[in-house]
Structure 1
Amino acid sequence: MIKKWFKNMGPGPLVAAAFIGPGTVTVCTLAGVGFGYTLLWAMVLSILATIVLQEMAARLGIVAQKGLSEIIRTEIQHPIIKLFVVLLILSAIVIGNAAYQAGNISGGVLGLETVLEHQNITVNNLTINPLNIILGVCAFALLYLGNYKVLEKVLISLVLLMSLSFLYTAIVTKPNIVEVLQGALIPIFPEGSLLTIIALIGTTVVPYNLFLHASLVKEKWHSEKDLKWARRDTVLSVILGGIVSICIIVSATAIQATEINNATDLAKGLEPLYGSYAKYFLGIGLFAAGITSAITAPLAAAYVATGCLGWARHMKGFQFRMVWMGVLLLGVCISSLGINPIEIIKFAQVANGILLPVIVGFLIWIMNKHSVLGLYKNKLWQNILGGFILIFSIFLSMATLNKVLGLNIF
């Protein structure tokens, strides 16, 4: 049974790898340091919402054998609305992932630097960290192979490594299990926690994962009979990813210090309390989080761009490769040269903030179309859950815009 399950393990771990990047690690670290276990409920809520949406995306990809961006492009008939939606998706996913790619690579490098010594190289007054380039080359090699099975196995291995690393780190801090359960099950809103709650949910319920999942499932499965495996794969993988995030929050709660600002500070803070092994395990976990996101972000951007523009969508296609190469190259350059991508990231945050409720709305609309899904369209209870998530995503969008643009909505 276990062997059969591993054989049918699909894109789920890739989705988990995509939403657990250095940004997630940092947000969870700050949540644990600032609010202890009290915001664990926000992560539990995020996991449930992600399972509902990712199951829809997976079902759509298997039944329709098309990616989400391709279906949106073909199903929207009004030319002006279609143009607006396509431009919004391309801006948020392709440009946004290019902006975040620098953070993915930098996060992986921070993990390595926690464990290894490093030496910067100076060329014509430019200081370059060679580890950024090494990680970029590794991501390039895996993506250029264009072999889904190889990519899947590598990312599954990295996700398992990341999971074990963060789980071990949480265990050595000896958390209070009763307090952990209370934090996970009882919603509490400590003073000043709203933006952190928004960040925890926003870093888990990720728009580009819906596109990535719908595209990847058709690489793995081709029949409605496989839906049961896709559902199990989705549920188990998202829960596993959520457990990783929860472990990071639990680990950070053990550090009672205000100078902790990111995962590297957390690693240093754990060392005097729990020994150097805690630092090494956390560093390995951060490296795995960085490299997996550095692979999945360009991949998602390529699937979205080719679907929106009607290009060939196979992994070895010229246009497909040009998109992910551009995203990867930009990320390596920004991270290697120390360029501050803050304005691009702000733009990406705004675009993603607008995009999330739009995509959730379109996804629910498509999931109710008999012409696309036939007997596999949404049931009433799925629409009810989706409706709650849509309303919440609108709130999340408004809060994101309020944070980035200072609109004083709240």
Structure 2
Amino acid sequence: MSNVTHRRNALLGAAFLMATSAIGPGFLTQTATFTQSLLASFGFVILLSILLDIGAQANIWRIVAVSGKKAQDIANVVFPGAGYFLAVLIVMGGLAFNIGNVGGAGLGLNIILGVSPELGAVISGVVALMIFLVKEAGKLMDKFTQIMGFIMLGLTLYVMFKADPPVADAVKYTVMPDKIDPIAIVTLVGGTVGGYITFAGAHRFLDAGIHGKDSLKEVNRGAISAILIASAMRVILFLAILGVVSQGVTLNPANPASTPFEFVAGNVGLFIFGIVIWAASVTSVIGAAYTSVSFISTFSPSIQKYRNYWIIGFIVFSTAVLVTVGRPAQVLVLVGTLNGLILPISLGLILLAAYKTKIVGDYKHPLWMTIVGGLVVVSMAVLSGQTLVSYITKLVG
């Protein structure tokens, strides 16, 4: 394989790993819920979140590439100990959301095969961990996430066309919304590039040996492509849901994202949804496990040497917690809130790193990227902080 082909495949793999990590069961539910509440105006929220996502991700991927260091090592140079703190947050958030991802995969197999959600979760966990048992785990992971990504996009696109959405209204209110929900914007940004998600692709291309200033053109393209892949799924699902909601259909509160699939094609549509949520969930399981372990792998030669086994252990533990304990609501809410705080912390550290020659050498970071990144940091920090304070107040009260 030529070096050009290797680099292209690695960046495509990084883009799909990041995108499919973002498209999990929470992604599907959020899109359905906000479409029902905002209707066509949700298009504006999606558009604005895409711009913020690109601003955040382009900053992070560029500095990771230029430095040739993983995020935790960059953070430790910016502030001694910050990398360890960031790693703890990433692993905690990744674990909490992986429990949810395994649960989503179990639900998918429950719909597809009729097995119990618990057995479906175990089967899905085994499928995910098998990838890391092979010698070329990275390449297999890249191929698997790409195939699952195309399956999700294709099936949801079919449902969108069958739902016959009011496209003209969607376009109109995307440009001129009649209502704006700031919480929806922050939720979408956090759900697309928050926590471990944006680092999934950044650490993947680093593992593939792609770094340095000469890689910036490819890295920029990969970062933007990843956001556009995830956003394409968001837009297609939004239009599918808008199509059925605009016909007066009420979404199923237990599983709102399944409604358009079932409405347009009955039991066949529900089967299709089972495939979509399984593909979304199992790829998120893989992305969360891979990225969480990548945040501790540089701290110990032993972890680096046996990294695939640590990833397998992460998947096994997530699956075991779901099957035996379930999804403890209070723990998931608290850690989920902390996960929302990860983006302003991690992006803030990356922006500081962009101006430290010890990390980036003679690289000059574009001012406009710093400004955009700073806006994301401030907005996410304020709203995530408000959510955290609200949760703690309820807990104490």
TM exceeds 0.5?
yes
Q: CA deviation at 1:281?
A: 2.9
Q: What are the equivalent positions in structure 2 for 1:1-400 lying under 5 Å apart?
A: 7=9, 9-77=12-80, 82=81, 85-86=82-83, 88-118=85-115, 120=116, 129-145=118-134, 147-189=137-179, 193=181, 195-220=183-208, 221-253=210-242, 254-255=244-245, 256-258=248-250, 260-262=252-254, 264-268=255-259, 270-307=261-298, 309-311=299-301, 314=304, 317-318=305-306, 320-321=307-308, 323-337=310-324, 339-400=326-387
Alignment check: 8 A CA contact 1:111 1:287 kept: yes
Alignment check: 8 A CA contact 1:159 1:288 kept: yes
Give the Cα separation in 1 of the matches to 2:212 and 2:77.
Answer: 22
Structure 1 unmatched runs, 5+: 121-127
Is the helix fraction higher in 1 or 2? Answer: 2
Q: CA deviation at 1:23?
A: 0.7
Aligned partner of residue 203 in structure 1, secondary structure: helix
Deviates more, 1:142-151 or 1:242-251: 142-151
Q: CA deviation at 1:353?
A: 3.1
Give the Cα separation in 2 of the matches to 1:61 and 1:297.
Answer: 19
Cα 1:304–1:269, aligned 2, differ >3 Å: closer, same or farther? same
Q: CA deviation at 1:6?
A: 5.9
Per-residue CA deviation, residues 189-223 of structure 1 (Å, 9 max, x unaligned), is 36xx5544443332123131243333211123245
Alignment check: 8 A CA contact 2:289 2:311 kept: yes
Give the Cα separation in 1 of the matches to 2:202 and 2:260.
Answer: 40
Partner of 1:123: none
Aligned partner of residue 260 in structure 1, secondary structure: coil
Alignment check: 8 A CA contact 2:56 2:372 kept: no
Letter in structure 2 aligned against 1:364: L
Give the Cα separation in 1 of the matches to 2:363 and 2:237.
Answer: 37
Cα 1:179–1:395, aligned 2, differ >3 Å: closer, same or farther? farther
Partner of 1:125: none
Per-residue CA deviation, residues 81-105 of structure 1 (Å, 9 max, x unaligned), is x2xx345423321122111112101
Q: CA deviation at 1:67?
A: 0.5
Cα 1:207–1:340, aligned 2, differ >3 Å: closer, same or farther? closer
Cα 1:271–1:41, aligned 2, differ >3 Å: closer, same or farther? same
Cα 1:64–1:153, aligned 2, differ >3 Å: closer, same or farther? same
Letter in structure 2 aligned against 1:261: P
Deviates more, 1:168-177 or 1:211-220: 211-220
Give the Cα separation in 2 of the matches to 1:251 and 1:322.
Answer: 40
Alignment check: 8 A CA contact 1:211 1:304 kept: no
Alignment check: 8 A CA contact 2:50 2:231 kept: yes
Alignment check: 8 A CA contact 2:355 2:365 kept: yes
Deviates more, 1:50-59 or 1:358-367: 50-59
Alignment check: 8 A CA contact 1:357 1:397 kept: no
Give the Cα separation in 2 of the matches to 1:331 and 1:288.
Answer: 17
Letter in structure 2 aligned against 1:260: N
Give the Cα separation in 2 of the matches to 1:397 and 1:153.
Answer: 35
What number of residue pairs does the alignment pair up?
385
Aligned partner of residue 11 in structure 1, secondary structure: helix
Give the Cα separation in 2 of the matches to 1:313 and 1:385.
Answer: 35
Per-residue CA deviation, residues 254-282 of structure 1 (Å, 9 max, x unaligned), is 134445225x4543554344444433333
TM-score (norm 2): 0.87
Give the Cα separation in 2 of the matches to 1:181 and 1:355.
Answer: 33
Aligned partner of residue 296 in structure 2, secondary structure: helix
Cα 1:50–1:194, aligned 2, differ >3 Å: closer, same or farther? closer
Alignment check: 8 A CA contact 2:21 2:200 kept: no
Give the Cα separation in 2 of the matches to 1:50 and 1:197.
Answer: 10
Alignment check: 8 A CA contact 2:25 2:100 kept: yes
Cα 1:183–1:274, aligned 2, differ >3 Å: closer, same or farther? farther
Cα 1:188–1:299, aligned 2, differ >3 Å: closer, same or farther? farther
Per-residue CA deviation, residues 273-321 of structure 1 (Å, 9 max, x unaligned), is 44444333332221110010010101111011224x354674xx22x34
Alignment check: 8 A CA contact 2:159 2:260 kept: no
Alignment check: 8 A CA contact 1:97 1:327 kept: no
TM-score (norm 1): 0.84
Give the Cα separation in 2 of the matches to 1:157 and 1:20.
Answer: 14
Cα 1:69–1:377, aligned 2, differ >3 Å: closer, same or farther? farther
Alignment check: 8 A CA contact 1:94 1:327 kept: no
Computed over aligned residues only, the root mean square deviation of the Cα atoms, in angstroms, reads 2.7
Aligned partner of residue 163 in structure 1, secondary structure: helix
